[in-house]
Structure 1
Amino acid sequence: MQYIYTQGRATLNMARIKSGAKDKNKPTESGSKNKPTESGSKNKPAESGSKDKNKPKEDKTWDEPYLHIFLITWRLVNVMFVQSWFVPDEYWQSVEIAHKHAFGFGYQTWEWKVGIRSYLHPLMFSCLFYVQKWVGLDHAPLLIIIPRVAQSLLSAAAEWKFYLFLSNTCGRYFARWAMFSLLTSWFWWYCATRTLINTFESNLVCFALYYLGCDQYKVGPNYSKFIFIAAFAFMLRPTIITVWLPLFCVYFYYFCLAKPDIAKFVFILFRTTILSTIVFLLSTFIDMLCHGRLLSVHFNFFLFNIFNNKGTFYGSHPFHWYLTQGIPTVVGTHLPFIMIGIYNKRRSNYHVYNLCKLSILVCTFTVLVYSIPGHKEFRFLLCILPFLHILSTCGLLSLPKRCRHIGILWLLLTNVPMAIYTGLIHQSAPNKVMKYLREDLTRPTSTTKTEIMFLCPCHSTPYYASLHQNITLRFLTCEPNLDDGKDYLDEADIFFSDPVTWLEQEYKLNKATRQCGSLLPNRLVMFDVLYDKLEDYFTQCYKVCFSTFHTHFSEGRVGSHMLVLCRL
């Protein structure tokens, strides 16, 4: 009832509210987002305040399940179009260790003997190998492809969670643009299906962000899952703390300084401590069983890489390398949009602005910490790649519509050729050589013993996990100076300083006649730069039976082609 008093006379008006009038201002399911409502909701202030005023409107026509199917299909296609070599850890620190664990033969590098690696990542692939072994599908081609397919599905699931996180935080409109930015990244295409621990680390970051729900720094019901994933990622690689620590500091500021809620912060700290301790104990127990002794791989990792800084044995870079080379290479032509996003972040709505600030904080802190050790690699930046593409999306959406269309064309024209070239052409020889050797081992031969020697820079090819044959394989080792000896040279350096002398001493060849001794291996694998120097020496005992292109950018010990020499 509504009473209206006019000129001292009271008039009673009965206002009957129809049951359908309440939903008159609600958008229809068909999503006519621009249609004005009858009640004039245009002038009605938003219930959530000015913070939600600029939040992108939802597009109800976007069918999310189809995105999930698309991501799975996209990554399976990605597996077929990435057949190149990136870094040794893709094989030697994952599937090679898993192969030895499941089948009893394989090669363990010095990292596992010293104890600076956790078995958590290789055990994932060991489980796959055990299943293949039990069902009789332990054939070399399947042992190669199935781990990569598993990793591609993990990447697709991580991308899906990343989309849901952004959709819940900033709206579907922003989330769709962020997915476009991520899926057009040549570097993510290059790494998303590789069995690298850094790729898996990036997947865990996406899963953790989804469960965290960073919107306005609220702690959602899935916070325990976030802590579990964050602790698990730390057990895999302690350096991921550079991503989690800024998030924790944000919560500390919010609950203790900005809007004090000490009780809630203490509860969060208590839950975090309990769950992290449980994950730590489980991880330590697994590593103790696999290493065969009680040790802390995280302490050993810190001691080797940070305190002793022995990682510089595999290359040292200046402090500014990540800023001047690392990030520009990893993000490629997305870099201008990242810079625009950082500059124009204040023009975004409240939710996007908060997320951009958080992304800048995580990226800045991670790059600063990673710049301290001398040894640096592009793949180390994979853990902050989602945050970089959040900033790229902010930059794209801050542009006028016409400029945005030009930006789309620019990203496609620059990233697609780069993805194809790096995935199928650049550094493609190692996998082709291993395929040839795998097929060569199945051919009937007159030799009773097969031995393959890799006269390449150490870890230049996959190993037992790619051949799946328990034969004699040798390569030039390159272990660091673990005993701190003076004038230390690894085996690869000794060989390349004087290849002929090394071969004669190793295989007891006659220096005068240089006759082919019986100790020489059946197959030699090398780059063309070595063969060109010693062609006269090798042609007495070997012939080139396979040659394949490797790279257009040959440098030092790595040539443009890789060769397989067969014993005469």
Structure 2
Amino acid sequence: MSTRPKSQFDDQKSQWKRSEVLTCIFLLAWRIFNAWNVQTFFQPDEYFQSLEPAWRSAFGSESGAWITWEWKEQLRSSIHPYIFTSLYSSHALIYDLLKFSKHDAAEALIVAPKNLQAVFAAMMDYFTFRLAGNVYERGTLSHWLVLGLSVMSPWQWFCSTRTFSNCLETTLTVVALATWPWAWFMHYESGGLRPLTELKPALRPNLKTGQLTPRLQAIPQEYQANAVDLPKSLSRCVVDIGPGSPTGLKRALTAAAIACILRPTNVVIWAAVSAVSLSMSQDMSKTTRFVTVAMKSGIQVLVVAVGMDWKYFGFFTVPAFKFVYFNIVQSLAVFYGRNRADYYLTEGLPLLLTTFLPLAIVGMWQSLKLDVTRADPGHVLEQRIRFCLAVAVLAAVISLSIVAHKEVRFIYPLLPMLHVLAAKPLVGACSALSLRKRTTVMSMLAAIIISLNMAIAIYVSLVHQRGVLDVMHYLRHQHESENPHMSSWWQMSALDTINITTIGFFMPCHSTPWRSHLVYPSIHAWALTCEPPIHIPLSERDQYLDEADQFYADPESWIILHMNEVEEISVDKHRSALTVGDSFLNDGGRRPWPHYLVFFEQLEPTLRDVLQGSAYRESWRGFNTHWHDDWRRQGDVVVWELYA
């Protein structure tokens, strides 16, 4: 049987496939290493909008998970928590089958979400690389530089492996952008690209059979005789024509639809991308086809999402609509902070981009100016994609700036696009130098940027706000040491044989993780809450104080009003069962004193005065921050324990 001799095309294809496989392996290993070395706290939503509802869904209402008001009001889609529900359920089953010790099972349950999120983070890096391959020539310095920017980004290191819905939203957004059929939308006569209707059949190697087969391609006439010699600058312009939609459009729109279900504000990005793509297409048949596929994909995703929410909440609801109603119409988001209109420009983007900010600014400026002086198809396609990405970034920043409550993670989905745009000016600046100078300059820049980024990444992931996580490990290990004969992390039977550990957190609400780190249902804890004024008229909200605000307004008075008398504290009291959501008040409407009190160092003088002469003694103190913008969270994390 005769075999076709390998061509240069085959060798290049094989080499590139190997390169991509090695890149994927590296990215996965890098992000797993990244996930294991993020040991600091960022924002509560990392736990309370994903892991806590997932824990309750996996292990039931008696598991001690803290369900916040957003879930009680159905503001969040259950898609994200269900991912971790499956993870928790499967891992718990495996640990029971393999007879893991209670300690090992608890540690593994804490690490499992990190590992899964590391996979999503690696996907984000890889599809950013894929997106860059659609924009720039594959394998060029610009292409690889985008991957370097993503891998060495301090923000990516700090945030990408955290279990925020924003992280999954960003991954889905860049997956959709990388599979978006750019060439299909943007091939028309202007700028040297021909309408697809004028193209003639050309020969192209079939990778399965090894034979040359006719395919319609959007390539210049001079290359249609022998597609094997197609230069790399035109390889991104190849578009297959067939009945139905282009390859990738349905996948892109499906990923985009899921991202919009997770975070409704993601709609702004896709409105901009779709509008620019269709305006550059100027083809009504493509517009019709796009609308058809978009409606089908959107309806399919919506039906699945509604079904999952129905199962999770027990009745029909559409969280995206409620999210908009509560946060925009009722302005409840303002309860958690109001920011300046220029926040994203002066704080958000600098935090997101850090050392790459100047490159991104220049890249945005260059991309918004379409260069019509060069007519080769590869350059025109690059220009149009960069323009589309820049418009999407601009539209998202402007739209989100209108909303009063702003957070840097709300613009996280823009980061992959900004990395793609930032690569161009850096390569352009270096290309003006001689080869020798270029090598020297690139090496110096790389050393400086990598050093700065590593310093930032190490500090924010291993130092800043680590105490609020360390204290949860301490409390969990204390509970294990008090129950050496507990056979399983989930043991709930024969509670009289288990020493119940009770904990009270005198901290601003959601200052620590919860059940995802406490793990054991036999650890009963309470903390100060911060429920928003859901049913209070807008005119009366300025006077509203949540429980945490009331406490910090006058801690001593709050303790006198809401805790048992100090004289009644005894070492037997800590065995009473207290769980979030259960009644933890005795007949006098007061909380009993717990086994452990947890608070920030800032509160220590007040508690020393109030609890002077009691049986509480310091048992643990851990560094948390060198500084904090919230005065209530300043200093170390301190634990006091009741001693006999």
Give the TM-score normalised by the residue count of structure 2. 0.76
Q: Which residue of 1 aligns with 2:76?
A: 117
1:196 aligns with 2:164: yes
Structure 1 residue 60, shift from structure 2 partner:
6.3
Kindly provide the amino acid, as one letter, of the partner of residue 103 in structure 1.
F
Structure 1 residue 403, shift from structure 2 partner:
4.2
- Could you tell which deviates more after superposition, 93-102 or 338-347? 338-347
Distance (Å, rounded) in 1 between the aligned partners of 2:398 and 2:512 = 33
Instruction: Specify which of 528, 532, 538 is matched with residue 480 of structure 1.
Output: 532
Distance (Å, rounded) in 2 between the aligned partners of 1:72 and 1:443 = 36
1:229 aligns with 2:229: no
Alpha-carbon contact 2:37-2:462 (below 8 Å) kept: yes
Distance (Å, rounded) in 2 between the aligned partners of 1:515 and 1:265 = 72
1:362 aligns with 2:321: no
Structure 1 residue 417, shift from structure 2 partner:
0.3
Q: Secondary structure at the match of 1:83?
A: coil
Q: Which residue of 2 aligns with 1:181?
A: 149
- Could you tell which deviates more after superposition, 66-75 or 395-404? 395-404
Could you give the per-residue CA deviations for residues 150-209 of structure 1, whole angstroms, max 9, x where no partner exists?
Answer: 110121123222222322442221221100111111001111111111111111112112
Q: Which residue of 1 aligns with 2:218?
A: none
Instruction: Specify which of 419, 423, 447 is matched with residue 393 of structure 1.
Output: 423
Structure 1 residue 504, shift from structure 2 partner:
2.3
Q: Secondary structure at the match of 1:546?
A: strand
Distance (Å, rounded) in 1 between the aligned partners of 2:135 and 2:394 = 22
Distance (Å, rounded) in 1 between the aligned partners of 2:366 and 2:399 = 26
Kindly provide the amino acid, as one letter, of the partner of residue 473 in structure 1.
A
Kindly provide the amino acid, as one letter, of the partner of residue 482 in structure 1.
I
Q: Which residue of 1 aligns with 2:197?
A: none
- Could you tell which deviates more after superposition, 522-531 or 269-278? 269-278
Could you give the per-residue CA deviations for residues 17-39 of structure 1, whole angstroms, max 9, x where no partner exists?
Answer: xx99xx8xx789589xxxxxxxx
Structure 1 residue 450, shift from structure 2 partner:
2.2
Unpaired runs of 5+ residues, structure 1, are 1-18, 32-57
Distance (Å, rounded) in 1 between the aligned partners of 2:613 and 2:386 = 64
1:431 aligns with 2:483: no
Distance (Å, rounded) in 2 between the aligned partners of 1:376 and 1:236 = 17
Instruction: Specify which of 519, 530, 543 is matched with residue 468 of structure 1.
Output: 519
RMSD, aligned CA: 2.5
Instruction: Specify which of 101, 109, 114 is matched with residue 148 of structure 1.
Output: 114
Structure 1 pair 28/440, CA: closer, same or farther in 2 (3 Å)? closer
- Could you tell which deviates more after superposition, 264-273 or 412-421? 264-273
Alpha-carbon contact 1:169-1:213 (below 8 Å) kept: no
Could you give the per-residue CA deviations for residues 410-465 of structure 1, whole angstroms, max 9, x where no partner exists?
Answer: 32121110000000000111110000011000112799442111110100001112
Alpha-carbon contact 1:396-1:404 (below 8 Å) kept: no
Q: Which residue of 1 aligns with 2:380?
A: 350
Q: Which residue of 1 aligns with 2:334?
A: 312
Q: Which residue of 1 aligns with 2:52?
A: 96
Unpaired runs of 5+ residues, structure 2, are 187-244, 431-437, 484-496, 574-591
Structure 1 residue 344, shift from structure 2 partner:
4.0
1:275 aligns with 2:313: no
1:340 aligns with 2:362: yes
Distance (Å, rounded) in 2 between the aligned partners of 1:119 and 1:447 = 34
- Could you tell which deviates more after superposition, 178-187 or 468-477? 468-477
1:553 aligns with 2:591: no
Structure 1 pair 130/549, CA: closer, same or farther in 2 (3 Å)? same
Distance (Å, rounded) in 1 between the aligned partners of 2:319 and 2:554 = 37
Q: Which residue of 1 aligns with 2:509?
A: 458
Q: Which residue of 1 aligns with 2:602?
A: 529
Alpha-carbon contact 1:339-1:395 (below 8 Å) kept: no
- Could you tell which deviates more after superposition, 182-191 or 348-357? 348-357
1:125-274 alignment, distance < 5 Å: 125-136=84-95, 139-171=105-137, 172-173=139-140, 174-215=142-183, 217=185, 220-255=246-281, 259=282, 261-274=283-296
Distance (Å, rounded) in 2 between the aligned partners of 1:28 and 1:286 = 45
Instruction: Specify which of 303, 306, 312 is matched with residue 284 of structure 1.
Output: 306
Number of matched pairs: 514
Alpha-carbon contact 1:161-1:206 (below 8 Å) kept: yes
Structure 1 residue 271, shift from structure 2 partner:
1.6
Give the TM-score normalised by the residue count of structure 1. 0.85
Structure 1 residue 507, shift from structure 2 partner:
2.4
Alpha-carbon contact 2:174-2:413 (below 8 Å) kept: no
Alpha-carbon contact 2:185-2:278 (below 8 Å) kept: no
Structure 1 residue 212, shift from structure 2 partner:
1.1
Q: Secondary structure at the match of 2:246?
A: coil
Structure 1 residue 136, shift from structure 2 partner:
2.6
Q: Which residue of 2 aligns with 1:86?
A: 42
Could you give the per-residue CA deviations for residues 498-524 of structure 1, whole angstroms, max 9, x where no partner exists?
Answer: 2122222222316xx686694211011
Structure 1 pair 427/145, CA: closer, same or farther in 2 (3 Å)? same
Q: Secondary structure at the match of 1:136?
A: helix
1:374 aligns with 2:425: no
Structure 1 pair 83/101, CA: closer, same or farther in 2 (3 Å)? same
1:25-44 alignment, distance < 5 Å: 29=11
Distance (Å, rounded) in 2 between the aligned partners of 1:298 and 1:61 = 40
Structure 1 residue 535, shift from structure 2 partner:
1.8
Distance (Å, rounded) in 2 between the aligned partners of 1:342 and 1:494 = 46
Q: Secondary structure at the match of 1:108?
A: coil
Alpha-carbon contact 2:482-2:499 (below 8 Å) kept: no
Alpha-carbon contact 2:182-2:277 (below 8 Å) kept: no
Kindly provide the amino acid, as one letter, of the partner of residue 428 in structure 1.
R
Structure 1 residue 390, shift from structure 2 partner:
1.0
1:24-63 alignment, distance < 5 Å: 29=11, 63=19
Alpha-carbon contact 2:24-2:126 (below 8 Å) kept: yes
Kindly provide the amino acid, as one letter, of the partner of residue 273 in structure 1.
M
Q: Which residue of 1 aligns with 2:199?
A: none
Structure 1 residue 216, shift from structure 2 partner:
6.3
Q: Which residue of 2 aligns with 1:38?
A: none
